[in-house]
Amino acid sequence: MPRLFQPNKAKPITPVFNVADLGNGEAEITLYGEVMEESPKDYWSGESLDGVYISVQEFNEKLDSIKDASHITVHLNSCGGDLFAGLAIHNVLKALPATITVKVEGIAASAASVIACAGDEVVVMPGSIFMVHSAAAFLFGYYNSADLTTMCSQIDACNKSIVNVYAAKTGRDIAELSELVEAETWLIGDEIVDAGFADTLDESSTSTTEVDEDGEGIVTNGLHHDVSAFHNLPTARIAAAMKAGRPDTDKVTTEVEGDNPAAADAHISAAPPQAAEKEGEDMDYESLTLDNLRAERPDLIREVENAAATAERERIAAIDGIAASVPADMVEDAKYANPMDAAQLALAAMQRDAQARAAYVADAKEDEDDSGAEDVPAAPEPSEEEDEEAKAKAEVADAIAYVKKIGA
């Protein structure tokens, strides 16, 4: 499927996807995360996977609760995702009778930039990031030239729909916008307004961004985004915007490797406000939550999550390795319901087998005792008549043998 890869208030909004009726005709929608048709689920268990997602399915389900609102504020912080999902959300927002205000509280990139353009008013901050680029498709398998030609036509159609959305918002020429899309254009702060994608620059609010050292991820307002698929991430301009918009400019650092300006640009980062506030202070562990830790130490959270995911994959693979010798119900239970590793599963299977054998022997002994087999003789004893006849036959045989002996 063609894919566009992937608020500030006084108190930052928790990075979630949510719809809320505030009363008096006011409502808000929080769109933090990856844009998808539906939230991903575990292939085996069917359970929803952990993550921050904006799904069309859930969006439509929740939207009914604010259908009577006259003004809706959309808090947006997303690096994009599925183009078709982004277009669907954009079209639904445009069709609402309410006036829509979109606040880019971090980043609106790729498919999320399409969603942003649904706003009657789009508000950005000095540190807000906006990115447009052409659609891309992930291919897996074997394709002939006709298949690829069809795919190219589909991608071209997607690009036309993207540019049409941008043109409707900005009023700019289609050809000019197409050049921006093809070039993967990044805009920051007032550049977004100058380009026509936003209407208002809110200088009273801030949007913070931290760039990973490897340049493959950014953290905007506490939410991590994977930007490894993009090509022109403007790390130097992002850092400059962070430095210009914050009084604690010493938190913006540049690590220069030799005389290579590109290396310096790749290592520019800005600390999020939560980390700046905590620096030099003792951490209040009683008030520490996962969300706070995720905002303050996204690198640590990612490291822990990646390690946990790797360990889980290895655990499942090890269980699959011994699954042929273990009952299927125990394998399923060990994977999901009552998680255990392969060694624990093997021991549990041996214990269960031993218990089954012991139960079989006990049942067989009980059946034997109940049958009365011990009281049954090995062979039936002869009756008195049979005994007398046997004695007579024996005497006759002895007599015959004696006569033969004498005759001899």
In a shared domain, residues 45 and 162: yes
Mean pLDDT, all residues of the chain:
78
Query: What pLDDT, on the 0 to 100 scale, is given for residue 377?
Result: 65
Is residue 401 assigned to a domain? Answer: no
Across the range 208-235, mean pLDDT stands at 84
154 and 8, same domain (yes or no): yes
The predicted-structure confidence for 92-144, as pLDDT tens digits, reads as follows 999 999 999 999 999 999 999 999 999 999 999 999 999 999 998 888 888 89
Q: Are 166 and 53 found together in one domain?
A: yes
Is the pLDDT confidence value at 268 over 60? Answer: no
Q: What average pLDDT does this structure show over 285-296?
A: 63
pLDDT of residue 74: 96
> Does 165 fall in a domain?
yes
pLDDT surpasses 90 at 254: no
Residue 244 lies in a domain: no
Does residue 328 sit in the same domain as residue 185? no
Query: What CATH number corresponds to the domain at position 115?
Result: 3.90.226.10
Last residue of a domain, one of 171, 190, 225: 225
What gap in Å lies between CA 272 and CA 209, rounded to an integer? 7
19 and 121, same domain (yes or no): yes
Which range, 40-49, 160-169, 266-275, 369-378, has the best average confidence (pLDDT)? 160-169
Instruction: Reply yes or no on whether the pLDDT at 300 is more than 80.
Output: no
pLDDT at 276: 38
pLDDT for 238 equals: 85
Same domain, 185 and 326: no
Most confidently predicted of 39-48, 89-98, 138-147: 89-98
User: Do 185 and 319 fall within a single domain?
Assistant: no
pLDDT at residue 51, rounded to an integer: 67
In a domain, 121, yes or no: yes
Q: Does residue 107 lie within any of the structural domains?
A: yes
* 0.85 surpassed by pTM: no
**Mean per-residue pLDDT, 8-21:** 58
- Asked whether residue 166 is assigned to any structural domain, the reply reads yes
Q: Does the residue 232 lie in any domain?
A: no
Domain that includes residue 43, residue range: 3-210+217-225
Q: What is the pLDDT of residue 7?
A: 35
pLDDT of residue 249: 32
Instruction: Specify the pLDDT at position 382.
Output: 65
In this structure, are 196 and 99 located in the same domain?
Answer: yes
| Whether residues 318 and 205 fall in one domain | no
Please give the tally of structural domains in the chain: 2
Band (pLDDT 50/70/90 cuts) for residue 378 is low
Question: Which whole number is the average pLDDT over 348-365?
Answer: 80
Same domain, 153 and 11: yes
Answer yes or no: is 350 within a domain.
yes
Considering the domain architecture, whether residues 12 and 122 belong to the same structural domain is answered as: yes
221 in the same domain as 96:
yes
